[in-house]
Structure 1
Amino acid sequence: MYALGHIGISLVLYAPIAAWYLQNGAVEMALLGGVLMAALGVLPDIDEYTELIPHRGPTHTVWFAIAVGTVVGLTAWALTTVIGAVDPLGAAVQFGLLGSLAILGHLAGDIITPMGVWPFRPLSKWHYTFEITPAKNPAANRLFFLVGIASSCGIGTLFLLVL
């Protein structure tokens, strides 16, 4: 899956969470969470820009998802503590979970390709693939992106209609 496809998958995964935030009046959190999901949804493919990490290696594991969630959560805690937010721990947990979800969404996007993923390496050598579409399929990538945008716009539109 390419960047557009991964961003779309992240937005689809985030849409119900954004709806919950909007329903509870947390508009800023809904927007920040969406930006975070879209940005982190492509992070595992950083391995394509260095020879130090094999493609679909360590950055395509559940361990990486946990690590990213932890770093994002700690960063959120530090920032919200500095600005004097009411609930730094709550922000840390919420942003940390979103960070991990974005990475897991990336794995979901790659598991449908023939190359698949090894999400539990090095503890397990099991290879997971559904072989639905090649990663380079432009139609599939555009479709995921459009569905992600549509789900996000749909949630936003519904929110505006009920205001």
Structure 2
Amino acid sequence: MHREGHYGASLLAYAPLLFGAMALGFPTAGVGGAVLALALAMVPDWDQQMPGVAHRGVTHTVHFAGAVAVVTALLGAGMGATASDGNALVVIGGAVFGGAAGALAILGHIGADALTPMGVDPLGEDGPHISYGVCRADNQLGNYALLALGIAGGLVAFYAGRGVNTALGV
């Protein structure tokens, strides 16, 4: 998929986490995670700029998603520590949230590429090849439809989560 489709896929993958953040009363984290998901949406395609790295190779695997999750977990822990003067629960919560948001953004990208005839090998070369053949990566309708789904999913998650928070009085 192209940029628009990947933005939508990453937002769609992140939407359940956004719902949880909003429902639990953490709107800043929820919106920050959405920004992070958008910022990371195209990272797997950096492989096209790296000599000797195959496109849709290592950067399109769950292993890469895990590596990104470690980095974003460390960033989340740092933000939690800064925001709370080192409160251990906030630091741990920030790490878990940051790691999950980072992993979901990359997994959303991989999922979008699985929709194309070229497909992906999400477990690496020795794992299964997944291709649903829904549309080619350059299909404008497919990319914009995925973007629209991601935006809609994000908005539903945001407002539904906020509504749950309000109803529960959390």
Which of 120, 124, 128 is the aligned partner of 1:117?
Answer: 120
Cα deviation, 1:47-76, whole Å, max 9, x if unaligned, reads 122324221111011110110001111222
Cα deviation, 1:138-159, whole Å, max 9, x if unaligned, reads 1000001011112223344446
Distance change (3 Å), C-alpha of 1:57 and 1:160? closer
**Root-mean-square deviation (Å):** 2.0
Query: For residue 33 of structure 2, what is the aligned residue in structure 1?
Result: 33
Which of 87, 100, 107 is the aligned partner of 1:97?
Answer: 100
Q: Which whole-Å CA distance do the structure 1 matches of 2:127 and 2:158 have between them?
A: 42
Which stretch shifts more, 10-19 or 148-157? 148-157
Stretches of structure 2 lacking an aligned partner (at least 5 in a row): none
> What is the number of equivalent residue pairs in this alignment?
162
Residue type of the alignment partner of 1:150: A
Q: Which whole-Å CA distance do the structure 2 matches of 1:9 and 1:85 have between them?
A: 34
Which of 149, 152, 155 is the aligned partner of 2:151?
Answer: 149
Structure 1 ranges of 4+ moved more than 6 A? none
Stretches of structure 1 lacking an aligned partner (at least 5 in a row): none
Identity of aligned residues (%): 35
Listed as ranges, the matches of 1:49-64 within 5 Å are 49-64=49-64
Cα deviation, 1:61-119, whole Å, max 9, x if unaligned, reads 11101100011112222343244253111110111121111111111111111111111
